Amino acid sequence: MPNFAHNTDEPLVKKPGETRNTTEQLLAAPYGMQGATIITTLGAEHAVQGYCIVAILDDTVLDVSNCDTNWREDINAGGGNPSGELVTDITLPVGIPFYGDFTRIFLISGRVIVYSK
């Protein structure tokens, strides 16, 4: 006979904040109220003036050949451009802030929030 007992510590009725998915939680975060641009269009250039970028969807990938930022690639890590310019597309994990000087963003996939200067 199956055991239908449930965890009695967990309430059966959820509060609104307890039913949100990761994207909704990131969009509701207080640091998002400082002036942000949400980029959802793929394969298009987005001119921004941002200091921080956060992926809000799994498998978000930046096309670095079409992005302008102050990031440089470690030429000693192998596969990098000798000039230090980024050549490897970057997959951003959801919810992790990446700081830099962003002036142009180009997404291959996913969605991001870019926080304005």
Does an H or E element contain 3, and which?
A: none
Band (pLDDT 50/70/90 cuts) for residue 9 is low
Given this model, what pLDDT does residue 77 score?
A: 57
The more confidently predicted of residues 41 and 61 is 61
Listed by start position, the domains of the chain span: 16-116
Structure-block tokens of residue 23: 């994207």
Cα 34 to Cα 47, 51, 89, 97, distances in angstroms: 18, 11, 28, 14
Contacts of 11 (CB under 8 A, 6+ apart): none
The more confidently predicted of residues 111 and 4 is 111
- CB of 41 closer than 8 Å to CB of 112: no
Burial class (CB in 10 A: 0-12, 13-18, 19+), 13: exposed
Given this model, what pLDDT does residue 75 score?
A: 58
pTM for the model stands at 0.65
Alpha helices by DSSP H, listed for the chain, are 22-28
Residue 5 has pLDDT above 80, yes or no: no
The more confidently predicted of residues 6 and 73 is 73
Once rounded to an integer, what is the mean pLDDT over residues 54-77?
A: 80
Residue 33 has pLDDT above 70, yes or no: no
The more confidently predicted of residues 41 and 6 is 41
The more confidently predicted of residues 5 and 12 is 12
Once rounded to an integer, what is the mean pLDDT over residues 56-71?
A: 85
- CB of 111 closer than 8 Å to CB of 38: yes
